[in-house]
Amino acid sequence: MTRVRFCGRDFTEAELECLRAICADRTAYPTRSSIARALCEATGWRDQLGRLKEMSAKVALLRMAAASLIELPPPRHGNQNARLARYLDATQLSFDLAPRASSLAELGDIELRLVKERSASRTWNELIATHHYLGYVPLCGAQLRYLIEASAGIIGALSFGPSAWKCRPRDAHIGWDQATREKRLHLVVGNARFLILPQLRVPHLASKILGAATRRLASDWREAYGYQPVLVETFVETGRFSGTSYRAANWLHVGQTAGRGKLDRYHARALPVKDVYLYPLHRSYRSILTAPV
């Protein structure tokens, strides 16, 4: 084995040996966080603003450990998902849910509030854990989360994060080969979660929210991470949703997933088939994404 790829980065055998030495030194690097920082510093793994990519490194470490390439110390704080589940079982939601409404006029002005404070983060987590069909899973890598608010109160939650490493319909639509995709993938972001509270049945609400989000996403991302994405993607489970809201918000339907997932080595197709939608954030997104590397 000469190199392996985790979280969009190739690791050479020499880098893996360096990482194993770091993992073995429990005095200097007693925690997974300290190992992740050391990995970033040793390999020069930084984002566009020069910051260490510690979250990506933490995910890569977990995957390396699962592949038996390294041995990590036990987690210091246990399982975060289990802690959140116990918290939600023991408490009620700590904010007022918006009342029912039947029209956009009844809801009033709609605002997307970027999640920055700890209290807003907890609110976002509670909303997703309680009302989203996929539940709460910590987002990895670069991400932006929004609370959706109206004059009546909080009405939903939205988030964007890293794009899929491979997606045949998306890659064909862009015109990507493997080398170009690897160099330009950071310019595509994924709509990871979209929730409107279930008591609301308001025509055109979802498409209005999506429009507001895509108008500000590039600038919000640049402020947070130092560069502007040019394309957004999302995956809509075909057996559960029709994708009407994305179509109404002018997202492009470019095909369907095969239902296999990235770990399906035996072509079992155990995952739900999903429609693939894209939304350009720049009119020249194709030429930007296919520029020579």
Residues 276, 93: Cα–Cα separation, whole Å: 33
Residues 75, 69: Cα–Cα separation, whole Å: 18
Q: Is residue 16 domain-shared with residue 148, that is, in the same domain?
A: no
Question: Is the model more confident about 98 or about 177?
Answer: 177
Question: Is the model more confident about 198 or about 121?
Answer: 121
Q: Is residue 20 domain-shared with residue 122, that is, in the same domain?
A: no
Residue 95, pLDDT above cutoff 60: no
> Is 72 inside any structural domain?
no
Q: Is residue 254 domain-shared with residue 194, that is, in the same domain?
A: yes
Residues 96, 152: Cα–Cα separation, whole Å: 9
Residues 94, 87: Cα–Cα separation, whole Å: 11
Which residues are paired to 149 by β-bridges? 111, 154
Total domains, the chain: 2
> Is 71 inside any structural domain?
no
Q: Is residue 90 domain-shared with residue 12, that is, in the same domain?
A: no
Q: Say if CB 255 and CB 169 are below 8 A apart.
A: yes
Residue 145, pLDDT above cutoff 80: yes
For residue range 201-237, what is the model confidence (pLDDT) as tens digits? 889 999 999 999 999 999 999 999 999 999 999 999 9
Residue 276, token pair as written in the block = 């693939």
pLDDT at 138: 74
> Is 74 inside any structural domain?
no
> Is 248 inside any structural domain?
yes
Domain housing 22: 3-66
**Rounded mean pLDDT, 172-190:** 95
pLDDT tier at 100, thresholds 50, 70, 90: low
Q: Is residue 154 domain-shared with residue 276, that is, in the same domain?
A: yes
Residue 189, pLDDT above cutoff 90: yes
pLDDT tier at 147, thresholds 50, 70, 90: very high
> Is 214 inside any structural domain?
yes
Residue 18, pLDDT above cutoff 60: yes
pLDDT at 272: 86
Q: Is residue 203 domain-shared with residue 261, that is, in the same domain?
A: yes
Q: Is residue 144 domain-shared with residue 260, that is, in the same domain?
A: yes
Nearest to 233, CA basis, from 148, 173, 151: 173
**Rounded mean pLDDT, 44-68:** 87
Residue 191 makes CB contacts below 8 A (sequence gap 6+) with 158, 159, 160, 232, 233, 234
> Is 45 inside any structural domain?
yes
Residue 148, token pair as written in the block = 């959706």
Q: Say if CB 7 and CB 56 are below 8 A apart.
A: yes
pLDDT at 292: 86
Q: Does the reported pTM lie above 0.85?
A: no
pLDDT at 264: 42
> Is 75 inside any structural domain?
no
3-state secondary structure of 69: coil
CATH number at residue 196: 3.40.630.30
Residues 235, 251: Cα–Cα separation, whole Å: 11
**Rounded mean pLDDT, 231-260:** 91
Residue 219, token pair as written in the block = 């600038």
Q: Is residue 112 domain-shared with residue 17, that is, in the same domain?
A: no
pLDDT at 89: 46
Q: Is residue 50 domain-shared with residue 103, that is, in the same domain?
A: no
Output b/e per residue, 78-100; b: 16+ Cβ within 10 A. eeeeeebeeeeeeeeeeeebbee
Q: Is residue 113 domain-shared with residue 251, that is, in the same domain?
A: yes
> Is 96 inside any structural domain?
yes
Give percent of the chain with pLDDT exceeding 90.
Answer: 58
Centre a 10 Å sphere on the Cβ of residue 35 and count the other Cβ atoms it contains. Answer: 23
Q: Is residue 26 domain-shared with residue 86, that is, in the same domain?
A: no
pLDDT averaged over the chain?
86
Nearest to 172, CA basis, from 98, 101, 97, 255: 255
Residues 166, 68: Cα–Cα separation, whole Å: 24
pLDDT at 261: 53
Residues 109, 247: Cα–Cα separation, whole Å: 23
Residue 4, pLDDT above cutoff 60: yes
Burial class of residue 192 in the structure, from the number of CB atoms within 10 Å of its CB (0-12 exposed, 13-18 middle, 19+ buried): buried
Q: Is residue 97 domain-shared with residue 187, that is, in the same domain?
A: yes
Which residues are paired to 74 by β-bridges? none
